[in-house]
Structure formats: structure tokens, C-alpha cells
Structure 1
Amino acid sequence: MSITELAWFKSSYSGTEGDSCVEVALDWRKSTHSGTQGDSCIEIAPCPTAIHIRDSKDTRRPGFHVGPDAWRHFTGYAAEQA
């Protein structure tokens, strides 16, 4: 993965002057069950303390995050329903 493929954003602790900032990146991945048409998909960006989730159709909209235990329970439940 190249550095340009990551979703970079400034830390909420960064000032408005543009100096002394920290930028962080998320490595977004689309579900392997997503179709090739690009609809009805979610993307996730796993981190050590949270799983970030967003709608792949409109990545500019805010997403949300859950803890690793909640994600594990969700994916286990979803697998049982398939």
C-alpha cells in the first residue's frame, strides 16, 4: 500500500495555524463480500482500540467506530445469519 492510498487527517488537537500538527491515517478496506458495482458496501479501518466503519458510497460523510469486542460479536452474529 502506498502512502497516498491512506486516508490522512489532522488530529483534533492540531491548531488552526497549521504548525505543530500530527496527521494520522486509516487504512480503509472494503468487505470481501462487496459486489463489483460498488453499492451496498461498507469499509472498515481497524486500529488497536477501535474499528472505524463508513459507507463506501459516500466516504466524505462521517462514519462511526466500535470497540474490537463489539466488532467481533457483530461479525460472529453476521456469519451465523449468512
Structure 2
Amino acid sequence: MNTLPSPGWTKSSYSNGDGGGCVEWAANHAEAFGQVPVRDSKDTTLPGFTVTAPAWSAFVAYARTAQV
């Protein structure tokens, strides 16, 4: 089985150290392939998922305006 190289994970600027919701995404992979890998930054052994670049952009726009 072939494995892909690490996509270059980046922790979300909204992630914090108090056990709250933390995600990582892979900007380099997104730029190269138009798909955005996303995973839980607290447990990187769990499988992540991939969304389209427009879907990720919509999510980020929502997260910036959400009052949670």
C-alpha cells in the first residue's frame, strides 16, 4: 500500500489549549489539489476527512461570524 506524504497540517487559529474544539487543515494540499483535508488536532490518529475548497471557504466564513 502506498502512503501519501504529510499534507502539511496547520492548526486552526480558533483552536485553543483548553480542550475545546480543535481542528487542523492542510493548506498545501488544498492549493495543489482543490481538496481540503481536515482532522482533529487533539487526536491525530483518528481518520480525517476531505472537503472541497469552496465548502471549506464557506465553513471558515461561517466560523468567523458565529457567536459561539
TM-score by length of 1: 0.63
2:53 matched residue in structure 1: 68
Q: Which structure shows the higher helix fraction? A: 2
The yes-or-no answer on 1:77 pairing with 2:62 is: yes
TM-score by length of 2: 0.74
Q: Which consecutive segments of 4 or more residues in structure 1 shift more than 4 A?
A: none
- Decide which of 41, 46, 51 is 2:36's aligned counterpart: 51
1:25 offset after TM fit, Å?
A: 2.3
5+ unaligned residues in a row in structure 2: which ranges?
A: none
- Stretch moving more, 35-44 or 71-80: 35-44
Report % sequence identity: 37
Higher relative contact order by CA 8 Å / sep ≥ 6: 1 or 2? Answer: 2
Equivalent residues, number: 62
Superposed CA RMSD in Å reads: 1.9
Structure of greater Rg = 1
5+ unaligned residues in a row in structure 1: which ranges?
A: 1-8, 12-23
